[in-house]
A and B are shown apart, each in its own frame.
Chain A
Amino acid sequence: MSEMHWLEAGEAAGLIAAKKLSPVEYAKTLLARIEKYDAGLNSFLTLRPEQTLADAQAAEDAVMRGDALGPLHGVPFALKDIIDAKGWPTTAHSRLLADNIASEDAPVTAKLRAAGGVLFGKLSTHEFALGGPSFDLPWPPARNAWGRDYSPGGSSSGAGAAVASGFVPIALGSDTGGSVRNPASMNGLLGMKPTYGRVSRRGVVPLSFSLDHVGPLTRTTADNALALSVIAGHDPRDPGSADDAVPNFGAAMESDIKGLKIGVIRHFYTKDMVADPEMAAAIEAAIKVLENLGAEVREIETRPLAQYTACNRVILLSEACAIHEKWLTERTEDYGALLLGRLLPGMGYSGVDYVQATRTRARYTAEFNENFNQLDAVLTVNNMEPAFLIEDFEAGEKHYPRQARTPFNVTGNPALAVPTGFSASGLPLSMQIVTGQFDEAMGYRIAAAYEAATGWTAKHPDLDKTAAM
């Protein structure tokens, strides 16, 4: 057995079902690790060890009784603190919701529990999934497991830090302009932004109704596919939810990638923006690996990154400002400075600007999806650079716009962040695999083949050493 804190979720569930791993011992081991290391990482906002251990005990009792077990039975998970869990706070890492207690589980939380998952806690986030990393909020920002002086990215910052640190094997984040894929990139993780509508958004604090997606962050492709299989599915009470069958995402990973046709959008990171040489070299190396595995890779072109970004911004901030309008005038001083600064431009758009952006979005979505008439997947960069120093405000402001994730929030296509190695300074690098609407399985298939060929996901941070970085 691997060290318990690096067990894959699927592996742990198998051991638990076979009575080779006690859910209680597993939970105690991970809670002890959190107690030892999280004071320096700040990934959790709320922990309730007694409740977690009670849930783990219930899971153990079910095993001993011989009950039917779900696919995550006894497996720890954690939630970005914008996702409701009944009786737990949902603060959005903000003074504005500091006293908010969820009255119900969000459907994604309920599904994880129904699959046997054990809730460990609520995770740090950029304030309202937009402003951060911030030092002027009631809780400190999460830090990077690979070097605590670095940002873990965001907005699902605690999710990235907690999974990379071996605190939990699965965390749920949200992604409106890249907030699952950014922390996945900065922490060496798999992060899936599924198709828009694939996963219910109900019970999740909204940032932008038409761009919000919920998705899992995990250390391996298999765990990501497993987590998505559990949380996906139609929710008739979420008006954006798609009534589309949920396949067995794990089954797709059993196929090789010989003959698959993959496009590469190079202009995003060589022309529209120029990526850090290590980031660009890593994706070029990944292309060679995929070719060696039998894929046919060719360069494609799409619209310039700036056009997608403008479309995303106008929709995102218009919808966000509609949510925040009242608070912006009545509780202005309760906002962190970063969130306020990022949110306010949305108050300067007109209704016409917003509708034009939504019309442009429809056009771009149709246009981009024509690619999948000839291709199985599209690759491109994720972040343009590895993690930045968390206390360097200028570096953070420069970092966040330098990414290629927003196009796929605009088009709603699945986009999977996949680790591509490490920089010379030891920080994770990443790419995205983008697939056709509701074809997350194809992304997992390619990622699994790449993961098996490279082994990047087998590397983990040494938290004793990274404390000094």
Chain B
Amino acid sequence: MAEQGTDKSGLPAAVAKAVGPERAKIAGDAARATIGRLDRGNHWTQEPAHVFRVGNWRAAKGEVGQ
């Protein structure tokens, strides 16, 4: 991405520049509102719902893995 870092909206600077400040601000506000409602009460040992299962990514015979 050409521009690194975060815009004042909270979106990546390159995305904020591409979509314009008005859309970026609305999106940033919406993101913060959702994050504010996210239940983060996870015990420190809690695993995520989808974990890496190595067997899922084993290429089949004759097939090159991606």
* A355 located at the interface, meaning its Cβ lies under 8 Å from any Cβ of chain B in the complex: yes
| B48 lies within 8 A of A358 (CB) | yes
Q: B13-26 CB contact bits vs A (8 Å, 1 = yes)?
A: 01101110001101
Of the candidates B2, B26, B34, B53, the one whose C-beta lies within 8 Å of that of A310 is B34
Q: Report the separation of the CA atoms of residues A313 and B41 in the bound assembly, to the nearest whole angstrom.
A: 17
Which B residues are in CB contact (< 8 Å) with A237?
60
Which A residues are in CB contact (< 8 Å) with B32?
348
| A313 lies within 8 A of B1 (CB) | no
| B48 lies within 8 A of A355 (CB) | yes
| B12 lies within 8 A of A210 (CB) | no
| A348 lies within 8 A of B27 (CB) | yes
Which A residues are in CB contact (< 8 Å) with B64?
none
Evaluate whether A362 and B46 lie within 8 angstroms (CB atoms) in the complex, with A347-B27, A348-B31, A353-B38 already known. Answer: yes
| B11 lies within 8 A of A344 (CB) | yes
Q: A306-340 CB contact bits vs B (8 Å, 1 = yes)?
A: 11011101100000000001001110100000001
Closest CB in chain B relative to A47 CB, distance in Å: 34
Closest CB in chain B relative to A265 CB, distance in Å: 18
| A359 lies within 8 A of B30 (CB) | no
Task: Tell me the chain B residues, 24-56 only, with Cβ under 8 Å from chain A.
Answer: 24, 26-28, 30-32, 34-35, 37-42, 46-50, 53, 56
| A328 lies within 8 A of B15 (CB) | yes
| B18 lies within 8 A of A328 (CB) | yes
Q: Report the separation of the CA atoms of residues A309 and B39 in the bound assembly, to the nearest whole angstrom.
A: 10
* A139 located at the interface, meaning its Cβ lies under 8 Å from any Cβ of chain B in the complex: no
Interface contacts (Cβ under 8 Å), in number, total 102
Of the candidates B1, B15, B42, the one whose C-beta lies within 8 Å of that of A359 is B42
A interface SS class: helix
Please count how many residues in chain B sit with their CB below 8 Å of the partner chain's CB atoms.
Answer: 36
Closest A residue by C-beta to B1: A329
Of the candidates A303, A310, A340, A362, the one whose C-beta lies within 8 Å of that of B48 is A362
Of the candidates B17, B23, B41, B56, the one whose C-beta lies within 8 Å of that of A341 is B23
Please count how many residues in chain A sit with their CB below 8 Å of the partner chain's CB atoms.
Answer: 36
Which A residues are in CB contact (< 8 Å) with B40?
356, 360
Closest B residue by C-beta to A344: B27
Q: Report the separation of the CA atoms of residues A313 and B31 in the bound assembly, to the nearest whole angstrom.
A: 9
Closest A residue by C-beta to B30: A345
Evaluate whether A329 and B15 lie within 8 angstroms (CB atoms) in the complex, with A345-B31, A347-B27, A348-B31 already known. Answer: yes
Of the candidates B28, B31, B37, the one whose C-beta lies within 8 Å of that of A307 is B37
| A310 lies within 8 A of B38 (CB) | yes
| A360 lies within 8 A of B39 (CB) | yes
* A198 located at the interface, meaning its Cβ lies under 8 Å from any Cβ of chain B in the complex: no
| A314 lies within 8 A of B38 (CB) | yes
* A87 located at the interface, meaning its Cβ lies under 8 Å from any Cβ of chain B in the complex: no
Which A residues are in CB contact (< 8 Å) with B39?
303, 307, 310-311, 360
Evaluate whether A348 and B38 lie within 8 angstroms (CB atoms) in the complex, with A358-B48, A359-B48 already known. Answer: no
Of the candidates B27, B34, B56, the one whose C-beta lies within 8 Å of that of A239 is B56
Which A residues are in CB contact (< 8 Å) with B56?
239
| A349 lies within 8 A of B35 (CB) | yes
| A349 lies within 8 A of B31 (CB) | yes
* A361 located at the interface, meaning its Cβ lies under 8 Å from any Cβ of chain B in the complex: yes
* A363 located at the interface, meaning its Cβ lies under 8 Å from any Cβ of chain B in the complex: yes
Q: A8-50 CB contact bits vs B (8 Å, 1 = yes)?
A: 0000000000000000000000000000000000000000000
| A359 lies within 8 A of B11 (CB) | no
Q: Report the separation of the CA atoms of residues A345 and B38 in the bound assembly, to the nearest whole angstrom.
A: 14
Which B residues are in CB contact (< 8 Å) with A239?
53, 56-57
Q: A337-375 CB contact bits vs B (8 Å, 1 = yes)?
A: 000110011111100010111111111010000000000
Closest CB in chain B relative to A204 CB, distance in Å: 17
Which B residues are in CB contact (< 8 Å) with A307?
37, 39
A-B contact pairs, 28 of them (CB 8 A): A210-B50, A237-B60, A239-B53, A303-B39, A313-B34, A314-B38, A325-B1, A328-B15, A329-B2, A330-B18, A332-B18, A340-B19, A344-B11, A344-B19, A344-B23, A344-B24, A345-B27, A345-B30, A345-B34, A347-B11, A347-B12, A348-B11, A349-B34, A353-B38, A356-B38, A356-B40, A362-B47, A365-B49
Residues of chain A at the chain B interface (Cβ within 8 Å): 210, 236-237, 239, 303, 306-307, 309-311, 313-314, 325, 328-330, 332, 340-341, 344-349, 353, 355-363, 365
Residues of chain B at the chain A interface (Cβ within 8 Å): 1-2, 9-12, 14-15, 17-19, 23-24, 26-28, 30-32, 34-35, 37-42, 46-50, 53, 56-57, 60
Shortest 4 CB-CB contacts between residues of A and residues of B: A348-B31, A344-B27, A358-B48, A239-B56
Other 20 A-B pairs with CB < 8 A, given A341-B23, A349-B31, A362-B49: A237-B60, A310-B38, A313-B34, A328-B19, A340-B19, A340-B23, A341-B26, A344-B11, A345-B27, A345-B31, A348-B30, A348-B35, A355-B48, A356-B38, A356-B40, A358-B49, A359-B48, A360-B38, A360-B42, A362-B47
